[in-house]
Amino acid sequence: MGNASREDVGKVVFDGSRTIRNADETHAILMAAGKSHAVVEIECGALDEVDLSFVQLLIAARNGARRDRRVVRLAGPVSGVLRDALQRGGFLTAVGLAAGATATADQTADHDFWLHTEAR
């Protein structure tokens, strides 16, 4: 995926609470990072509250990056509250299917994105 050099990586660190209440702010942060860098690496390890608006924003950021041939990736495999929200929301269910023979390439990519096994 992506062909950006190491110098283009912009790091975004989210901590504390990322919910619908500050979704506009989260959106703005991601937008700014995407405009400034070919590769955006998002650090989510210090979050202590998230809801699906945040998950949706990460997916949207990734969708936009794909369209523009940029890279948005997580700094590490999801954990803590984010992983919990993904699991409860059914975003990791397909990951279980990846073990089956019928998982598609795109599914595997989703799985890699969240669990940080995506090729760099």
| Chain contacts with another protein (rule: CB under 8 A) | 20, 23-24, 26-27, 30-31, 34, 51-53, 56-57, 59-61, 63-64, 67, 85, 88-91, 93-94, 96-97, 100-104, 106-107, 110
> What is the nearest approach in angstroms of another protein to the Cβ of residue 105?
8
Cβ of residue 102: shortest distance to another protein, in angstroms? 5
The distance of closest approach from Cβ of residue 10 to another protein in the complex, given in angstroms and rounded to an integer, is: 14
Helices (H), 10-79: 23-36, 52-67
Cβ proximity to another protein, 4 vs 31, nearer residue? 31
d(CA 42, CA 45): 9
Q: For residues 23-52, b (16+ Cβ closer than 10 Å) or e, as one string?
A: eeebeebbeebbeebbbbbbebeebeebbe
